[in-house]
Amino acid sequence: MKRMLTLMLSLFALAASAQTLTLKWKTDTLLRVPESVLFDAKNNVLYVACIDGKPDGKDGVGSIAKVSPAGKIISAAWVKGLDAPKGMGQFKNNLYVADISRVAIIDIGTGKITSFVEIPDAKFLNDITVDKQGNVYVSDTGTNKIHRIKDGKAEVYFESTELKGVNGLLAQGNDLYVVDFATGVNYKLTADKKFTKYTTTAEGADGVVPVGKDEYLVSSWNGEVDFVNAKGEVKKLLDTREQKWNAADIEFDAKTNTLYVPTFFANGVMAYTLAK
């Protein structure tokens, strides 16, 4: 009886962790090196940050595209004049974009860049997350610092020698999930700056998005997506390395259970349905 109960519990745990990703659609390959995608639920549109030039090139050829939730490219260059745009965050009517050493602020209603916030000594700004108060956090993979923009002013929020290539950020309540590109290590950073290792996903860790209470997905730039449950257990859901499709800074729409994956060198966005 005891062995049967153990078996039943094991099968229940296996079923509970049976997450899968099924391809829903992919865009035309007209997006120029898409690094990040963000879903704007209010306006029912996806914003895609397209580097186009070099990832660290201050060349003015970067742009933000608009794509419909059905995968149609509405505008390949809705906002122009950026350098190498990467992570994005939204608060009210503002879109925040990491752009090498500055954060661009775009008015969503007009599609115009209203201002830039320069980040002192920044080398390679990468991901952005915004908390419920509107504070903007941006990672600098080049210096392993996390900066915060509060009331329009930038400050160093956190740095640690443990970080070897800080990248993905996710604000959850008063805390941050932080993923390291170089090692794949995932951390939790509390409001009182307690910094602890949570788990490890694939190297090249890039984007991190919530999919449930204390559950999230982490992409690997190399072409992988891992699911992390509330216990820190990891399950690989996607591996497109053989096809040479990258998986950069991802987005997830909980309402439709859709994961959006920018494919970088494959020049498109792919959408997957997440089944739990």
Q: What is the mean pLDDT of residues 206-218?
A: 95
* 64-99 tens-digit pLDDT: 999 999 999 999 999 999 999 999 999 999 999 999
Would 13 be classed as within a structural domain? Answer: no
pLDDT of residue 276: 82
φ/ψ (deg, to 5) at 229? -90, 180
Predicted confidence at residue 18, as pLDDT, reads 79
Q: Mean pLDDT in the chain?
A: 94
| Domain assignment of residue 7, yes or no | no
Q: Report, as an integer, the average pLDDT of 176-199.
A: 97
Range of the domain at 104: 20-275
Residue 258: which CATH number?
2.120.10.30
The yes-or-no verdict on residue 21 having pLDDT over 50 is yes
Q: How far apart are CA 99 and CA 118, in angstroms?
A: 10
Residue in the block written with tokens 């409001």: 191
Question: For the segment 120-140, what is each residue's pLDDT rounded down to a tens digit?
Answer: 999 999 999 999 999 999 999
Cβ contact 208:217 at 8 Å: yes
Given this model, what pLDDT does residue 154 score? 98
Reading the block at residue 125, the tokens are: 């700004």
pLDDT over threshold 80, residue 219? yes
pLDDT band for position 6 (cuts 50, 70, 90)? very low
The answer to whether residue 51 scores a pLDDT higher than 80 is yes
119 domain residue, yes or no: yes
Q: Which long-range contacts (CB under 8 A, 24 or more apart) does 105-112 make?
A: 106/64, 106/79, 108/40, 108/43, 111/78, 111/79, 112/79
Ramachandran assignment for 71, one of left (phi > 0), alpha (psi -120 to 50 degrees), beta (any other) = left
Q: Is residue 101 part of a domain?
A: yes
Q: Is-contact 227 215, C-beta < 8 A?
A: yes
Question: Residue 17: its pLDDT value, please?
Answer: 58
2 occurs within a structural domain: no
SS3 content of the chain, % helix, strand, coil (to 5): 5, 55, 40
88-113: average pLDDT: 98
**Structure confidence at residue 194 (pLDDT):** 97
More confident residue, 4 or 244: 244
- pLDDT one-digit tens code per residue, 245-256: 999 999 999 999
pLDDT of residue 14: 38
pLDDT confidence of residue 116: 98
Residue (of 79, 95, 31) closest to 270 by Cα position: 31
Least confident of 13-17, 104-108, 138-142, 191-195: 13-17
- Is residue 211 in a domain? yes
Q: Taking a C-beta distance cutoff of 8 angstroms, is the pair 217, 250 a contact?
A: yes
48-77: average pLDDT: 98
- In this predicted structure, the answer to whether residue 1 has a pLDDT above a threshold of 60 is no
pLDDT at 12: 40
Does the pLDDT of residue 9 top 70, yes or no? Answer: no
Confidence at residue 267, expressed as pLDDT on a 0 to 100 scale = 98
**Residues above pLDDT 70, as percent of the chain:** 94
Q: How far apart are CA 222 and CA 225, in angstroms?
A: 9
Model confidence at 4, pLDDT cuts 50, 70, 90, reads very low
Q: How far apart are CA 249 and CA 138, in angstroms?
A: 13
Residue-wise burial string across 129-156, b where 16 or more C-beta atoms lie within 10 A, e elsewhere: bbbeeeebbbbbbbbbbbbbbeeeebee
Count up the domains in the chain and report the number: 1
